[in-house]
Homo-oligomer: A and B are copies of this chain.
Amino acid sequence: MTALSVENVWKYYGDFPALRGISFEARQGACVALLGRNGAGKTTLLRILAGLSRPTRGSVRVFGRDCLDAEVRRQTGLIGHGIGIYDELSAYENLRLFAALYGVKDPRRAAMEWLERTGLERVRDGLVREFSRGMRQRLAVARAFLHRPSLLLLDEPFTALDDRAIALLQGLLKESLAGGATVVMSTHQLREALELATHVALIVKGRLAHAGERTAEMLEDPGWLYRTYGEA
């Protein structure tokens, strides 16, 4: 089943086309690594998929619906550059808030459960302001996963994370993928990304230069992809 279909998406910033006719599909359970050099258009594409920005032309369908649809939003989880967590609220209050916003059945229980899963139950009433960067990132992960999204959009999720935080995130991603969720993530850290990815999409100057399954040789030599399709 196709979870995500992007059809001929163009995005102009003024008259400059940041995305030029991107089309691809991702079936349910796929993990797509979105690669490309600085300024290729990865963030732009992810923001469109998340419904944070509208394509100038073309359409994005998620689970067969428009990506601005409330039902689709309820099933989408996002980790962007920022952590998306309120500094003045406690860890528990943050999660309860997002559980309520996402219409999760029992917000309190869901919040407690995810505090436990990310190892934060000891500091549930501590204000986020006082958390270290690693703890914040854990909380961000909990926030993105707590409504059990079936589509996960991650923009450079491994940036500035240490080994343990990376392991936590990878574990959760694997679990979600096993549960049938679809993942799209952009990254420059090819190694970490390619380990998880089932598919690869390479963007060069706003065009899709290559899309397909992740092959074994990519894992061995992460630079191969750029060398082969990079200068298209």
Which residues of chain A have a CB within 8 Å of any CB of chain B?
36-39, 132-135, 137, 156, 159-165, 188-189, 191, 223, 226
Contact = CB atoms under 8 A, between A and B. Distances in A.
Given A37-B163, A39-B132, A162-B188, 9 more contacts: A37-B162, A38-B137, A38-B160, A38-B162, A38-B165, A39-B135, A159-B159, A159-B160, A163-B223
6 contacts: A36-B162, A38-B160, A38-B162, A39-B133, A163-B226, A189-B189
Nearest to A39: B132
Contacts of A133: 38-39
Going nearest first, the 5 A-B pairs with the smallest beta carbon separation are A38-B134, A39-B132, A37-B162, A38-B133, A38-B162
A44 to B, nearest CB: 12
Contacts of A38: 132-134, 137, 160-162, 165
Contacts of A135: 39
Contact of A134 (B39, B132, B134, B137): B39
Contacts of A159: 159-160
A39 B161 CA distance: 10
Contacts of A39: 132-135
A40 to B, nearest CB: 8
A160 B158 CA distance: 10
A39 B160 CA distance: 11
Contacts of A156: 160
